[in-house]
Amino acid sequence: MREPTTPEEVRDLHNVLRSDPQRYLRIVNDWIQSNPNNSHAYFDRHFAWMKIGEPERALEDLNKVVELNPQPVALRSRGEVYRHLGEYNKALSDFDRAEAFNPAQWDEAGFGLLYQADCYARLGDEASALAHCARLPDDFWTPGVNGAPSGDKGQVAEQLRRIAADAQRRRQS
């Protein structure tokens, strides 16, 4: 399978990821073998590593993507993997770098802010968590993607308060 160039081909490739992650890995590995500097192939492969429970390998691929082509989506994705691994300070560093590319777009999209807020809360920093939450669009709502708080902006803020309080209690014990 060649690299996708149309939305339909991207959909077909991601259907392979969902149904047969090992086949997806073989496909993307072929792209990398034919061009070891293909940042898109490393980015695509990180999805398979996450799908099969290999976040450290996903992180290796995203490190390569950032080395080859440090774009906001790569930094945000690497931040998400760090967040998944519980490395919240590293996640925040990547989220901040991604945000610096285009702060207005970062705020508008919302999920970067949500992940930043969640990281701060898990570090026990309620004030920073709530400051990031306050920047979410007023009509923001989430089902709770990737373990982040769910609900509207107010519901997310309440969950962030609880997460931060729990983190502070754990640090004090």
CB neighbours of 104 closer than 8 A, spacing ≥ 6?
A: none
pTM: 0.93
Percent of the chain at pLDDT > 90 equals 94
| Alpha-carbon gap, residue 61 to 38, rounded angstroms | 11
Span 4-61, pLDDT tens digits: 999 999 999 999 999 999 999 999 999 999 999 999 999 999 999 999 999 999 999 9
Span 115-146, pLDDT tens digits: 999 999 999 999 999 999 999 999 999 999 89
The pLDDT, as a whole number, for residue 131 is 98
Q: SS3 string of the chain?
A: CCCCCCHHHHHHHHHHHHHCHHHHHHHHHHHHHHCCCCHHHHHHHHHHHHHCCCHHHHHHHHHHHHHHCCCHHHHHHHHHHHHHCCCHHHHHHHHHHHHHHCHHHHHHHCHHHHHHHHHHHHCCCHHHHHHHHHCCCCCCEECCHHHCCCEEHHHHHHHHHHHHHHHHHHHHC
At 110, the pLDDT band (50, 70, 90 cuts) reads: confident
